[in-house]
A = this chain, B = another copy of it.
Amino acid sequence: MNDPKKRFNELIIVLKKQGYRMTPQRLELIRIISASKGHPSASQIYETIKHQFPSMSQATVYNTLTLLKEMDQILEIDLHGDSHYDGNRPEPHPHIICVKCNQIVDGEFDIAHESIKRLEEVSGFHIMRTQFAFYGLCPDCRSDS
């Protein structure tokens, strides 16, 4: 994972370069996304920001997340109507998700690079982003049951 501060500044630069405004709410969301070791969901981000900005609205959270998503700066992890976000690794990588405790862990190998090329050739698609999810039991939950 990147250094949170480095990532924070990186995101600010990218947004500014595109002419987006730096509002306090946006800065706070970017700070959270940059520092998150886990993969927070939209509602988790919303709840966290509300501590600092009680007036924060869900619409703003979704607006900003959509913005970052469209700029390929964050990855959306679609989990059955509860999207989580990975703010540190825009490049394709697998996620390992515990079906019991719902924790999400980053996988380290890169299946994508060569696979994408092959898949594009075979399917004729132009592939823009990927989502690899492995569902199972994390070490803790394995021993629980």
Contact = CB atoms under 8 A, between A and B. Distances in A.
Nearest to A135: B129
A115 B119 contact: no
B115 A138 contact: no
Contact of A130 (B78, B83, B134): B134
A133 interface: yes
A59 interface: no
Contacts of A108: 122
B136 A125 contact: yes
A12 interface: no
Tally of this chain's copies: 2
A123 B97 CA distance: 11
Interface of A: 76, 78-81, 83, 94, 96, 98-99, 105, 107-109, 111, 115-116, 118-120, 122-139, 142
B131 A133 contact: yes
A125 B139 contact: yes
A133 B124 CA distance: 15
A94 B127 CA distance: 12
A46 to B, nearest CB: 17
Contacts of A139: 123-125
